């Protein structure tokens, strides 16, 4: 059994090799989860959600059947629902645990298994390891052929309270706006059952495309809102309908990508840019209280931190993976409050209902924010430029190299052996436990011109991820610096 919990749960290609996702693996990990459930003093109840991938509903049914044989009460939705709805329902119904059957934004041949704790947070390292250890014991005892004498049907949940908290949060903002034309793509995923409803309740009338559930995602190679290829139909629709905003969510609807209309055409906004803009927007429309805290990651950009400082918000950086953001939010002391969380890969969270990234509330906030600036004659990019003029032009880029784990390890070990690069002033190796964070296979390089780069093997795909960022006093300089940094880091990776 070589599958392991990574940054986004247990994921793999569906098939019958030992390191792939199939019915037996789903049974196996669920037996292990049941063992862990009984080792904690949380309610013996589990909420299950699933996306529109091939086999997701079938796998969710297997999870329900296995857990019920242990006498664990199972709750579920009667259709594909966003993963953040699961996180909310755990908290709202005071349930013990949650399981989401999804591989998020991975290609169609993948599926996966995310586990959530009593607080609606995706399991971090300690609990994930406990399940992995329990999986070993399950194999020893050969319990895959379990009896179903105690099997009970799942109790279906009404998602209405989840939508209510999204609508209530957005309506409390000091921001009354008119509607704007929006194109929304669910990319054939679970967002179709959530985002259009939320937007309509807030006064928008989105043009919805790619809504029908489809495990092949309409033939899109990777249903990832970070990739421009997924927006081909959305942009075509936006041009025909003179839309000012395009939103696209991944299959389990925890990430949302953003494209805006400018005088020069349609422009994608990065996760770092949207995160910074939402900090600015929420500070203006919601206000800031003492102890309000923004949580992000070590590979996210600099502008968000600059804005947090300007508004008097505490800013915290954690390891990559929104589970760490959710965990930190839950553990905040009484004199601090969660204000906003984001990561560069289009994951955003506001409010107290959910403790994982949430593309439903993010889509609602982005729509309201776009309308807010539209009434001022500005686009989101115009506001980004205004903020950059004040705080510096921070631009970032992510480059992924498709290589196997052996090649990834070679690059990381070479970096740890020491490198010589012009302008390098500091190296942080997170495998050494930097800044009181858990140990992680990440190396971050800092350069004398305020630029930085981070190398991290992907926790969900056979890729080496290279994050890069720069800060300059003009947009043109920032583009040149980022291009130069990117070329140098890719050359470095090839040499290693």
Cα 96 to Cα 119: distance, rounded to the nearest angstrom = 8
483 exposed, middle or buried (CB, 10 Å; 0-12, 13-18, 19+)?
A: middle
Is 400 marked active-site?
no
Is the alpha carbon torsion for 101, 105, 107, 108 positive or negative? positive
Cα–Cα dist 254/171, whole Å: 21
Instruction: Give 301's contacts (C-beta < 8 A, 6+ positions apart).
Output: 270, 272, 273, 275, 276, 344, 394, 395, 396, 469
Question: Which of 104, 185, 270, 481 is flagged as catalytic?
Answer: 104
If phi > 0 it is left, if psi is from -120 to 50 it is alpha, else beta; for residue 339 that is alpha
* Rg value, the chain, Cα: 22
Q: How far is Cα 105 from Cα 400, in angstroms, rounded to an integer?
A: 15
Q: CA-CA distance, 284 to 381, in Å (whole number)?
A: 17
Which secondary-structure segment (H or E) carries 481?
A: helix 475-495
User: Could you give the CA distance from residue 431 to residue 440 in angstroms, rounded to a whole number?
Assistant: 5
Instruction: Give the Cα separation of 172 and 301 in Å (integer).
Output: 28
- What does the alpha-carbon distance between residue 493 and residue 491 come to, in Å, rounded to a whole number? 5
Instruction: Quote the CA–CA distance of 394 and 386 in Å, as a whole number.
Output: 12
Q: Strands across the sheet with 452-457, in order?
A: 393-402, 463-472, 452-457, 443-447, 424-429
Separation between Cα atoms, residue 343 and residue 274, nearest integer Å: 10
DSSP string, 259-290: EEEETTEEEEE-HHHHHHHHHHHHHHHT---T
E strand or H helix at 155, and its extent?
strand 155-156
Q: Is 436 helix (H, G, I), strand (E, B) or coil?
A: helix
Q: Which residues contact 236 (CB under 8 A, 6 or more apart)?
A: none
Burial grade of 445 (CB within 10 A; 0-12, 13-18, 19 or more): buried
Q: Which two tokens stand for residue 254?
A: 């925890």
> How far is 232 from 293, CA to CA, in rounded Å?
37
Active site residues: 104
């Amino acid at each position: 059994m070589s599958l392991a919990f990574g940054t986004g749960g247990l994921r793999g290609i569906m098939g019958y090799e030992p390191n792939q996702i199939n019915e037996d693996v789903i049974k196996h990990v669920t037996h292990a989860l049941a063992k862990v459930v009984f080792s904690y003093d949380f309610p013996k109840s589990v909420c299950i959600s699933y996306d529109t991938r091939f086999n997701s509903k079938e796998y969710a049914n297997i999870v329900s059947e296995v857990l019920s044989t242990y006498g664990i009460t199972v709750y579920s939705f009667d259709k594909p629902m966003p993963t953040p709805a699961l996180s909310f329902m755990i908290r709202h119904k005071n349930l013990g645990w949650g399981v989401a059957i999804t591989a998020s934004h991975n290609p169609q041949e993948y599926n996966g298994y995310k586990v959530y704790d009593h607080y609606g947070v995706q399991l971090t390292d300690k609990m994930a390891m406990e399940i992995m250890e329990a999986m070993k014991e399950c194999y020893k005892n050969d319990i895959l052929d379990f009896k179903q004498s105690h099997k009970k049907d799942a109790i279906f949940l009404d998602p209405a309270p989840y939508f209510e908290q999204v609508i209530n949060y957005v309506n409390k903002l000091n921001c009354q706006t008119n509607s704007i034309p929006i194109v929304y793509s669910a990319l054939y995923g679970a967002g179709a059952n959530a985002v259009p409803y939320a937007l309509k309740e807030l006064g928008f009338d989105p043009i919805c495309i790619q809504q029908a559930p489809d495990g092949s995602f309409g033939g899109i190679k990777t249903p990832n809102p970070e990739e421009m290829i997924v927006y081909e139909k959305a942009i075509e629709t936006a041009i025909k309908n003179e839309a000012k905003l395009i939103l696209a969510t991944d299959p389990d609807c925890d990430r949302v990508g953003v494209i805006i209309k400018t005088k020069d055409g349609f422009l994608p906004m990065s996760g770092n840019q949207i995160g910074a803009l939402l900090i600015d927007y929420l500070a203006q429309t919601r206000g800031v209280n003492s102890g309000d805290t923004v949580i992000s990651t070590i590979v996210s950009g600099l502008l968000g931190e600059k804005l947090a400082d300007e508004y008097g918000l505490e800013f915290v950086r954690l390891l990559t993976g929104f589970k760490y953001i959710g965990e930190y939010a839950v553990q905040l002391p009484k004199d601090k409050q969660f204000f906003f969380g984001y990561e560069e890969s289009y994951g955003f969270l506001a409010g107290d209902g959910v403790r994982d990234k949430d593309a439903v509330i993010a889509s609602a906030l982005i729509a309201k924010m776009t309308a807010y600036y539209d009434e001022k004659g500005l686009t989101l990019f115009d506001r980004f430029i205004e903020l950059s003029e004040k705080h510096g032009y921070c631009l970032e880029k992510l480059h992924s190299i498709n290589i196997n784990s052996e090649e990834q390890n070679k690059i990381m070990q070479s970096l740890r052996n020491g490198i010589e690069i012009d302008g390098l002033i500091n190296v942080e190796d997170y495998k050494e436990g930097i800044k009181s964070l858990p140990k992680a296979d990440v190396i971050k390089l800092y350069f004398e011109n305020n630029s930085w780069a981070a190398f991290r093997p992907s926790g969900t795909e056979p890729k080496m991820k290279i994050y890069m960022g720069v800060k300059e006093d003009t947009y043109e300089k920032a583009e040149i610096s980022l291009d130069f940094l990117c070329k140098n880091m890719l050359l470095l990776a090839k040499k290693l």
